[in-house]
Structure 1
Amino acid sequence: MEALLQEFALGTTLPWQVIAVRLTLSIFLGGIVGFERELLARPAGLRTHMLVCLASATFAIVAVEIVSMPAFSDEQVRADPVRLVEAITAGVAFLAAGFIIFKRGQVRGLTTGAGMWLAAAVGLATGLGLWLIAVLACLLGALVLAALRRLEIQLDLKDAHDDDTRDDEE
């Protein structure tokens, strides 16, 4: 019975408050990245970016917790933080690739896919507690998405109703 009680205890290396703040911040930062995509009515908008960011932060926190578990304290078990980055990168790249299509000689969905990749990176940084990196990447990503789009339209490089990531409905 004692083993069962320990199984459901909130025993984590990180205090639960830190975990809660990291996960909440990841949702907020993912929302900032996804907001511009939502305004342009892209399939991967606000909720998708928030979930990608939250999932990445969760994976990062789980990785931090795994390293401190007694079952993994053996000398033969070694942690490689780069594998976490590789796994999240590969997983999100697979998801983002689903939004990228080649249609009528044009590539579409590329910016949406890149935004999802950024959301994953921001989530990873948030989950690992790298706040400055997470916030700066998020704000710079939002700047690139929103401000540079306006600049492209003003310079007549893009039509106001067109986007290199426009997902035509068919």
Structure 2
Amino acid sequence: MCNPASRREADQWWKEHSPQQTIIMFEFIDSIPDIILRPLMAVLCAAVLGFERETQGKAAGLRTQMMVGLGTAIFTMAAWNLQERLADTEGATRVDPTRVIAGIVGGLGFLGAGSIIQAGKSIRGLTTAATVWVVGAVGIACGLGDYLLALVATGFATIILVGVGYLEHRTDITGSTKSLPPKDS
């Protein structure tokens, strides 16, 4: 419950800063092309990793990875935009965009956990879960405009998924499932 004075102040603040008054107020983003480029880069990087998962017949394939990349980029951009918007506003609630990133990482953990399947003594889907997590990190980097970091991470992840995956199957180091350790009695 808020007192009438603070409610009036809040209403006044909203009138001054409402979307009708401010059509685009991305202060930390330099231009409209940048507003398009950040999510686009996230989607493209995610598509590279999602394509590999799709060709392997995994549930979290191309579309899922692209949506994760897009979502994390948008959440990151929106959090930083809100923080910039409220930074100089007297009496406004302080916004910490790093908390949004922490929330994204936690949410990605739940999403990744959904791709892990335990059947008997084997566990499947760990690589797909890890890929969802990496795609989220790439989306965050793109949302912040750190394209070099996003491209390097995408490159490393692709090498791991394709190169190491090929070596695993070529040398038969591991099977398609990981065995659980025996239970202690």
Q: Does 1:115 align with 2:131?
A: yes
3-state SS in 2 of match to 1:43: coil
Structure-1 separation of matches of 2:74 and 2:133: 15
Query: Does the 8 Å CA contact 2:42/2:142 hold for their aligned counterparts?
Result: yes
1:21 aligns to 2:37 (yes or no)? yes
What SS does structure 2 have at the residue aligned with 1:146? Answer: helix
TM-score by length of 1: 0.85
CA–CA distance in structure 1, aligned partners of residues 25 and 99 of structure 2: 25
Q: Equivalent residue of 1:6, what SS?
A: coil
Instruction: Name 2:9's counterpart in structure 1.
Output: none
The 1-side partners of 2:97 and 2:111 are apart by 22
Residues matched between the structures, number:
161
Q: Secondary structure at the match of 1:107?
A: strand
Distance apart, 1:49 and its partner CA: 0.4
Residue in structure 1 matching 2:104, options 88, 91, 96: 88
CA shift, 1:48, in A, is 0.4
Query: How far apart are the structure 1 equivalents of 2:94 and 2:87?
Result: 12
Aligned ranges for residues 120-159 of structure 1 at < 5 Å? 120-158=136-174
| Alignment counterpart, residue 68 of structure 2, candidates 34, 52, 55 | 52
**Residue identity matched to 1:134:** A
Is the contact made by 1:67 and 1:73 (CA closer than 8 Å) also made in structure 2? no
Residue 23 of structure 1 aligns to a residue whose secondary structure is helix
- C-alpha distance in 2, partners of 1:86/1:98? 19
Structure 2: distance between partners of 1:34 and 1:4:
35
Listed as ranges, the gaps of 5+ residues in structure 2 are 1-15, 179-185
> In structure 2, do the counterparts of structure 1 residues 85 and 47 end up closer, same or farther at CA, with 3 Å as the change threshold?
same
> Which structure would you say has the larger RCO, counting Cα contacts within 8 Å and 6 or more residues apart?
1
Residue identity matched to 1:24: L
Amino acid at match of 1:90: G
Q: 1:163 to 1:74 in 2, by over 3 A?
A: farther
Question: How far apart are the structure 1 equivalents of 2:47 and 2:126?
Answer: 19
Give percent identity, aligned residues only: 34
Q: What CA distance in whole angstroms lies between the structure 2 residues aligned with 1:118 and 1:101?
A: 19
User: Residues 58 and 66 of structure 1: is their aligned pair in 2 closer, same or farther, counting only changes over 3 Å?
Assistant: same
Q: What is the alpha-carbon distance in structure 2 between the residues aligned to residue 137 and residue 93 of structure 1?
A: 18
